[in-house]
Amino acid sequence: MPANRRFRNVVRIGPVQVGTAYDGRGREKHTAVCTAPRCGFSNDFDTRAAAELAARTHRCRVR
């Protein structure tokens, strides 16, 4: 997870972490980040549901 953002409600779904943080304008962003080395999957979403769905359906190519 990026160290410059404070995430809350962080959950782990498989290798993917989902967290909620405020962006620079005070809006909530929901980020899904894969923790597997060399995967590099990371996406921001407008809703928590979308972020968790992405985490659940993420197919890690690094096994």
Instruction: Yes or no: say if 8 and 27 are a contact pair by the CB < 8 Å rule.
Output: no
Report, in this order, helix, strand and coil percent for the chain, each rounded to 5. 15, 40, 45
Does residue 39 belong to the site contacting Zn ion (CB under 5 A)? yes
The count of other CB atoms within 10 Å of the CB of residue 18 is: 23
CB of 39 to Zn ion, least distance (A): 3
Residue 55 CB, nearest approach to Zn ion (Å):
10
Q: Quick check: 13 binds Zn ion (CB under 5 A)? A: no
Q: How far is the CB of 24 from Zn ion (least distance, A)?
A: 27
Where does this chain bind Zn ion (CB under 5 A)? 34, 36, 39, 41, 60
